[in-house]
């Protein structure tokens, strides 16, 4: 009852917030008509575009100003994000059209005025991309040999999958998206409650979830473990990580961008996917939360992510030698400063070695009570970290030790530049067969105030009560500078509003460090 009530409350509140930020969809203009001037050099034309399976997709087309008869231009297709209408990309579409592209954007199936039901990047969504490409080639001066896909969030997941199935796609820019849907919202075998509830609520309020999605949401938020394998298989079919060999065979040039604090699609799964790509590729991580790194660009404001997206398309659709392919392919920005760091690959991000912090003291916690350590609020906390350097905080000395296990490092004489994925290895002894805990890494200042560096949940089922077992857990990747005079603290508790927990009443967890298998936190560092 507690989990169901929490999910419903979060769904209602976050859906309302999402709708407040979503652009209003006006009554659609008649197909093929000019709805209004986007700028002095181009106009937008709204069209009904045939999708797969006989449905109609509401879309718009921008072409280069003064496009001459008989000439073709590179094509970029932009599906919309979850819950947003076809006007989402107008500012960027105009810039692309002014620079010589045909740009087609459409409302993803199941949302707003487009037909069909929400399939969550299922086969009909992937077929829609190819259908839109076919339509654009037949109804605009699009070049069949120069086709790109792009988009934010939901569109990023769709376009990555579409590039695996349509070899005509030469370049993709996938921003704030997922490559592994399971690792995104079910990492550590733990339901990401706020993320799933927000997406589900926004889907109901702006579209028409299909029967499969409705059933999945009920099972997922209702913790139906008997349906776990079916849910995992459903997610795998919607994960580009399962199709990476096809993307590589197509030779698609793939640019990935995400934020360190993305509370819907955390960065780890993008980094792992990037490492498996063999064609032209680029990976960018910046401070922020879901879609905040590229959000200002959707308003037409200067934006690094969109600037590089344009450069990526120019290089691989127009053949321009603009230097983006000669730069270090992994570009990251620390949460602590404004400069970019370039690396040859993801493995090199933590090239300064790792610092192992021993967790030698045994700790014992009672479950089902929030200690005060948590990962923040979906879409808000990491955005505050991005814009005002204010991540979630906790007073580490005041955390109740009955409900939170705490280990601290020594004070550092020099700054520590954390880069990459922090890893936890520990031994857990539960009093019940099921359970959940969340690990947090804090930067602790002289007054004991800890700023959240990273976190991750872990859930287990079917363990023998009283029997110890080992746990290896990757925290969400990040880039964070710990000032001199500060220390690091690892905190573990059992309740976090971001996640669904599975601790039975009266459960307790003990964390130990056996002599033959010591517990530790491995912290990757940048070279000094």
Over its length of 528 residues, how does the chain's per-residue pLDDT go in tens digits? 334 333 333 333 333 333 333 333 333 444 554 444 444 466 789 999 999 999 999 999 999 988 877 899 999 999 999 999 999 999 999 999 999 999 999 999 999 999 999 999 999 999 999 999 999 999 999 999 999 999 999 999 999 999 999 999 999 999 999 999 999 999 999 999 999 999 999 999 999 999 999 999 999 999 999 999 999 999 999 999 999 999 999 999 999 999 999 999 999 999 999 999 999 999 999 999 999 999 999 999 999 999 999 999 999 999 999 999 999 999 999 998 879 999 999 999 998 899 999 999 999 999 999 999 999 999 999 999 999 999 999 999 999 999 999 999 999 999 999 999 999 999 999 999 999 999 999 999 999 999 999 999 999 999 999 999 999 999 999 999 999 999 999 999 999 999 999 999 999 999 999 999 999 999 999 987
Question: Quick check: helix, strand or coil at residue 137?
Answer: helix
Closest among 220, 188, 224, 187 to 460, alpha carbons compared:
188
Can you tell me the distance from the alpha carbon of 83 to that of 391, in angstroms, rounded to the nearest whole number? 27
What is the dihedral sign for C-alpha 295, 300, 303, 309? positive
Can you tell me the distance from the alpha carbon of 220 to that of 230, in angstroms, rounded to the nearest whole number? 11
Question: Quick check: helix, strand or coil at residue 8?
Answer: helix
Buried b (16+ CB within 10 A) or exposed e, 443-457: bbbeebebbbbbbbb
Question: Quick check: helix, strand or coil at residue 251?
Answer: coil
Question: Quick check: helix, strand or coil at residue 429?
Answer: strand
Can you tell me the distance from the alpha carbon of 42 to that of 62, in angstroms, rounded to the nearest whole number? 7
Largest CA distance in the chain: 77
Can you tell me the distance from the alpha carbon of 521 to that of 523, in angstroms, rounded to the nearest whole number? 6
Can you tell me the distance from the alpha carbon of 67 to that of 236, in angstroms, rounded to the nearest whole number? 42
Measure CA 452 to chain center. Answer: 19
Confidence (pLDDT) at 268: 97
Closest among 21, 73, 63, 2 to 314, alpha carbons compared:
73
Cα distances (angstroms) measured from residue 265 to each of 180, 223, 257, 333, 476? 9, 20, 11, 18, 10
Confidence (pLDDT) at 94: 96
Can you tell me the distance from the alpha carbon of 305 to that of 327, in angstroms, rounded to the nearest whole number? 15
Query: What's the chain's length in residues?
Result: 528
Q: By the 8 A CB rule, do 262 and 289 touch?
A: yes
What is the dihedral sign for C-alpha 341, 342, 348, 349? positive
- Which helix (H) or strand (E) element contains residue 332? strand 330-333
Buried b (16+ CB within 10 A) or exposed e, 188-221: bbbbbbbbbbbbbbbbbebbbbbeebbbbbebbb
Q: By the 8 A CB rule, do 184 and 121 touch?
A: no
Can you tell me the distance from the alpha carbon of 453 to that of 381, in angstroms, rounded to the nearest whole number? 12
Question: Quick check: helix, strand or coil at residue 387?
Answer: helix
Q: What are phi and psi of 378, to 5 degrees?
A: -50, 130
Single pTM value for the model: 0.92
Q: By the 8 A CB rule, do 385 and 379 touch?
A: no
Closest among 37, 110, 89 to 299, alpha carbons compared:
89
Confidence (pLDDT) at 32: 54
Confidence (pLDDT) at 44: 87
Question: 398-401: which pairs have CB atoms within 8 A and are 24 or more residues apart?
Answer: 398/372, 398/448, 399/371, 399/372, 399/373, 399/491, 399/493, 400/369, 400/371, 400/372, 401/363
């Amino acid at each position: 009852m507690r989990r169901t009530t929490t999910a419903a409350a979060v769904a209602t509140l976050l859906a309302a917030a999402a709708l407040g930020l979503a652009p209003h969809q006006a009554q659609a203009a008649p197909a093929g008509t000019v709805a209004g001037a986007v700028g002095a050099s181009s106009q937008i034309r709204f069209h009904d575009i045939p999708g797969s399976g006989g449905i109609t997709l509401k879309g718009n087309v921008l072409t280069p100003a003064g496009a001459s008869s008989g000439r073709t231009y590179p094509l970029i297709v932009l599906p919309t994000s979850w819950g947003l209408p076809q006007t989402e990309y107008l500012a960027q579409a105009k810039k692309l059209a002014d620079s010589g592209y045909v740009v087609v954007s459409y409302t993803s199936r199941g949302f707003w005025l487009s037909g069909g039901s929400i399939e969550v990047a299922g086969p009909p969504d992937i077929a829609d991309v190819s259908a839109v490409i076919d339509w654009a080639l037949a109804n605009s001066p699009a070049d069949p040999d120069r086709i790109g896909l792009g988009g934010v969030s939901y569109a990023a997941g769709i376009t990555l999958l579409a590039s695996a199935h349509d070899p005509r796609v030469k370049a993709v820019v996938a921003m704030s998206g997922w490559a592994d849907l399971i690792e995104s919202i079910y990492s550590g075998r733990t339901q990401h409650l706020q993320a799933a509830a927000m997406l589900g609520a926004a889907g109901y309020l702006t579209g028409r979830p299909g029967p499969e999605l409705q059933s999945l949401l009920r099972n997922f938020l209702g913790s139906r473990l008997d349906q776990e394998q079916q849910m995992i298989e459903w997610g795998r079919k919607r994960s580009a990580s399962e199709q990476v060999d096809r993307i590589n065979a197509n030779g698609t040039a793939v640019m990935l961008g995400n934020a360190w604090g993305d509370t819907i699609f955390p960065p780890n799964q993008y980094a792992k996917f990037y490492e498996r790509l063999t064609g032209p590729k680029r990976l960018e991580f910046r401070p922020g939360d879901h879609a905040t790194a590229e959000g200002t660009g959707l308003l037409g404001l200067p934006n690094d992510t969109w600037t590089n997206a344009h450069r990526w398309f120019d290089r691989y659709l127009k053949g321009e030698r603009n230097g983006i392919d000669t730069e270090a392919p992994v570009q990251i920005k620390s949460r602590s400063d404004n400069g970019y760091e370039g690396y040859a690959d993801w493995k090199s991000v933590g090239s300064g070695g790792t610092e192992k912090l021993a967790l030698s003291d045994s700790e014992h916690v009672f479950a089902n009570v929030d200690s005060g350590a948590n990962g923040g609020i979906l879409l808000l906390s990491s955005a505050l970290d991005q814009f005002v350097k204010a991540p979630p905080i906790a007073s580490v000395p005041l955390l109740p030790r009955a409900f939170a296990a705490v280990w601290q490092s020594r004070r550092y004489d020099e700054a520590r530049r954390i880069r990459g994925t922090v890893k936890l290895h520990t031994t857990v002894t539960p009093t019940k067969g099921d359970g959940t805990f969340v690990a947090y890494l804090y930067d602790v200042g002289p007054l004991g105030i800890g700023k959240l560096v990273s976190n991750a949940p872990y859930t287990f089922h079917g363990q023998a009560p009283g029997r110890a077992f080992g746990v290896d857990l990757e925290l969400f990747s990040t880039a964070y500078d710990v000032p001199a005079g500060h220390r690091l603290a690892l905190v573990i508790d059992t309740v976090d509003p971001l996640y669904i927990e599975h601790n039975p009443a009266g459960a307790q967890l003990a964390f130990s460090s056996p002599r033959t298998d010591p517990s530790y936190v491995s912290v990757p560092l940048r070279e000094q």
